[in-house]
Amino acid sequence: MHVVTLRDPSSLVAAQFVPAAGMIGSALTDEGVQLLGQRKGLDAYITAGKTMGIPILYPWANRLGANTYTAEDATVTLTPGANGVRTDSAGLPIHGVLAGYPGWRVTAESTNELTAELDFGADPKLLASFPYPHVLEVAVRLADRTLTVRTTVTATTDRAVPLCFGFHPYLHVTDVARGDWMIETPPLRHLYLDERGLPTGETAERPAMSQQLRDEALDDCYDQVGDGSVFAVSGGGRRLEVHFEYGFPAAQIFAPPGEDVVCFEPMTAPTDALRRGGYRVARRGEAAVARFSIRV
């Protein structure tokens, strides 16, 4: 399986992506120090969808509230275990259908840039779960100690494509105890979640925050994330920033108990938006673009 290594021309920061394994970002290093949570590793991602590194969550991020949804004049019934659909412990569809998907085609590759695309409409199994023909492109660039990820969705028919996807970067600060990590967030609106991890409809404004992670377990959803918002984790003289540059107005902050990772997840819409609405769309002739970056 071809692993593409990108190298920053101006530093010792490097990144690895695996197009044939769902275009996952499998590594981000600085002077050889791994900055991404490896969790159960790449094999577990390919075979069981166990996330690690920087996976794309597509066409929906996080979970849906049921195995059916209606969007853009199409009603879909999802089949867990088929057509790429995976479920959480409560049986809800989670993180879309592209975990480990092998059908990406590399269209450009250089020392510090990689572009790959997926013709979503060419695979009947993908369309069975998300019947909106389109081309999905992910372009990554590593320069000035910054990994930039640009995603473009181009509708290929007159049916609009709901934009409910996201990314799940697992950040890891080495040689510092998890409890001593400092996390920082911009002002946000908190979406309260029920016991299944779905929005209840209640919200609360949250000011900008800077605090130690301590032993907290986080799995919180937010919206009203402004373009250019910065989330960060730091410790031991190292700082990792996730910049929501544009097109990602929602976020999930995830720090599971007992794991030395924290995630600031860029999302084009909040959890369960594919069922509840409140998402943007990509229309034919108007490609939709979203971009985030990780600065080391």
Residue 153 is part of a domain; what is its CATH number?
2.70.98.10
Domain that holds residue 148: 4-295
- SS3 percent helix, strand, coil of the chain, rounded to 5, is 10, 50, 40
Residue keyed to tokens 């510090």:
112
| Count helices and strands in the chain by DSSP H and E runs | 3, 25
Q: Which ranges of the chain would DSSP assign to H, the alpha helix? A: 42-48, 124-129, 273-276
Rounded CA-CA distance 143/192 in Å is 37
Can you read off the two tokens belonging to residue 37? 């949570």
| DSSP β-bridge partners for residue 5 | 16
Q: What is the pLDDT of residues 5-25, one digit of tens each?
A: 999 999 999 999 999 999 999
Please report which confidence band the pLDDT of residue 290 belongs to, taking 50, 70 and 90 as the band edges.
Answer: very high
- Do 178 and 273 form a contact (C-beta atoms < 8 A)? no
Number of domains making up the chain? 1
Indicate the helix (H) or strand (E) that contains 266: strand 262-267
Using DSSP's 3-state secondary structure scheme, residue 121 falls into helix
Output the pLDDT for position 102. 96
Judging by DSSP bridges, how do beta strands 74-77 and 134-143 pair with one another?
A: unpaired
Q: What is the pLDDT of residues 258-283, one digit of tens each?
A: 899 999 999 999 999 999 999 999 99
Can you read off the two tokens belonging to residue 115? 């572009």
Give the dihedral of Cα atoms 81, 86, 90, 94; nearest 10 deg.
Answer: -150
- Do 104 and 19 form a contact (C-beta atoms < 8 A)? yes
Rounded CA-CA distance 151/290 in Å is 5
pLDDT(226) > 90:
yes
What mean pLDDT value characterizes the chain?
A: 97
Q: What is the pLDDT of residues 92-108, one digit of tens each?
A: 999 999 999 999 999 99
Please report which confidence band the pLDDT of residue 1 belongs to, taking 50, 70 and 90 as the band edges.
Answer: confident
- Do 172 and 260 form a contact (C-beta atoms < 8 A)? yes
Give the pLDDT mean for 227-239.
97
Can you read off the two tokens belonging to residue 12? 């010792």
Q: What is the pLDDT of residues 51-68, one digit of tens each?
A: 999 999 999 999 999 999
